[in-house]
Amino acid sequence: MTAPLLQAEKLVKRFPVRGGFLAEKRELTAVAGVDLEIFPGETLGVAGESGCGKSTVARLLTGLIPPSEGSIRYGGRELFAMNREELAQYRREVQMIFQDPFSSLNPRMRVAQIIGEPLDIHGIGTPSERRERVARLMERVGLPPEALSRFPHQFSGGQRQRIGIARALAVSPRLIIADEPVSALDLSIQAQIINLLQEVKKDLGLSFLFITHDLSVLRHLSDRIVIMYLGRIVESGSRDDVLSKQLHPYTEALLSAIPSIDPQKKSRHVVARGELPSPLSPPSGCPFHTRCPYAEAICSEERPELLEKEPGHRAACHFSKRIYRS
């Protein structure tokens, strides 16, 4: 069996929350014991509402912030035990595409400088080779090379995200972590960026961790899907299993929110009640029980473990088999 390219085990991240002068010190648990594996050449999709911990996972995996507990291994090597040279190689091989194309590009730098900066940092090529590579990258993402002298404010949102993709590709990474890269774009532009990412993955053999709140996006991109809720994984499995045979009520609610254009398609419509609870005071037992239409007494008393309910398909629900029996 192929070894994972990147693996996280029991990943926890807590943030201190400052109150008033006499207020009791509190901690917000943004990620609460997450296990992830990303294999060479695959796209792992991570979905959930805002505030579920998706972006924190991305920042942990890129090494931007350290975990409070748990481990992250890349190629079998512990990330936070790497020496300076190993860490530099990791940062070259694991790149990130950010959510907001307007704030992720330095407004004072020209596009040629933005895309070429990673090449400068990692000392790749001669100045002339770098200029040639930057021009090729512009063409690769569908932008004219003559635009290299422009500043970010002279581009649309979709064009700025293309620049962000070119910057991520500059140093020939093995894994790209994309944190909601299309959520700030118009629907027509979203489709163009998704198609571009699919082409890049196929042509370069990249691995992707694609984070989104929109499961319909993952239908086109992912090989496997992980569903997060309040910092925990509540369901994981292959794309087809999660999207067609979901085993957790939260996944069902997310899918119910996607409009269907097929009038003949009949599906059970489930709505998650109320708002996402605060991670400062998560509910007891199953974190979803306060919003779940199927909740029973045990759900508020005992937190279900993430268990394999079917081959390769895991869910953290006491009643998966009963609710979703064939």
pLDDT on residue 216? 86
In this structure, which amino acid lies at residue 297? A
- Residue 223: enclosing H or E segment and its boundaries? none
Instruction: State the residue for tokens 């599906």.
Output: 267
| pTM of the shown model | 0.91
Q: Distance between CA 21 and CA 109 in Å, rounded?
A: 42
How far apart CA 21 and CA 97 sit, in angstroms, is: 38
Residue 134 confidence (pLDDT) = 95
- Beta bridge mates, 71: 9
User: What is the rounded distance in angstroms from the CA atom of residue 207 to the CA atom of residue 209?
Assistant: 7
Annotated domain spans of the chain: 6-324
Report pLDDT for 268: 61
Cβ count within 10 A of residue 311: 8
Pairing type for strands 94-97 and 175-179 reads: parallel
CATH no. for 6-324: 3.40.50.300
Ordered per-residue pLDDT tens for the chain, 326 residues: 688 999 999 999 999 987 766 667 788 999 999 999 999 999 999 999 988 999 999 999 999 999 999 999 998 899 989 999 999 999 999 999 988 888 889 999 999 999 999 999 999 999 999 999 999 999 999 999 889 999 999 999 999 999 999 999 999 999 999 999 988 788 889 999 999 999 999 999 999 999 998 888 898 889 999 999 999 999 999 999 999 999 999 999 999 877 665 555 555 667 777 788 888 888 999 999 999 999 999 999 999 999 999 999 999 999 998 888 75
The confidence score (pLDDT) of residue 259 equals: 66
